[in-house]
Amino acid sequence: MWMKRWQLFISLLAALCLFTLLPAYGEEVLRGNVINIVDGDTLDVQVGPGKHRIRLAEIDSPERNQPWGDEAKQGLASKVLKQEVRIVVIDIDRYGRRVGTIFLDQTDINRLMVSEGHAWVYRQYLQDKRLIEIETMAREAGVGLWSQSDAVPPWDWRKGKRSNRRLGRTDGE
């Protein structure tokens, strides 16, 4: 009888070890100090002797030249600039940036940016379905960019900017 229990215990222990180790092989985790905020969804992190540009996963903040762009950048800076963070990297984008979720201690900064109205959920790349609920609550509360009646999603803003450049126009024309 004790032999069966012992085998069961060993099997459970082996399964636990396997499940604990699996994520370490499937994702990159970086720890470093935030040294620069590019905009509301991109930052630079010093990791040892190297610097990495990080794009916050699943969210899209207003562009720097877009309404609420400066506020989004400041919102991110006030949370993580000169702080040690942990980044769970899920991808590398076409610009070579690591794309991931930023954690300050146990706080998910990506979610926090959405909850404070500094970012839209980037549905095209969405994995964390809870972000939709968080965005809805921020929108209903009218916080951050949701206080503006004419908030334009960054992906639409970028399309408009590309169209204006092709036409030879700039802001204000």
Active site residues: 55, 63, 97
How far CA 67 is from CA of 53, 63, 78, 149, 164, in Å, comes to 24, 8, 19, 11, 17
Tokens 């990495």 locate to: 52
Which H or E element spans position 162?
helix 154-166
33-68 per-residue burial string, b: 16 or more CB within 10 A, e: under 16: ebeebebbbbbbbeeeeeebebbbbbbbbbbeebeb
Structure tokens at 128: 């964390």
Structure tokens at 161: 């900017």
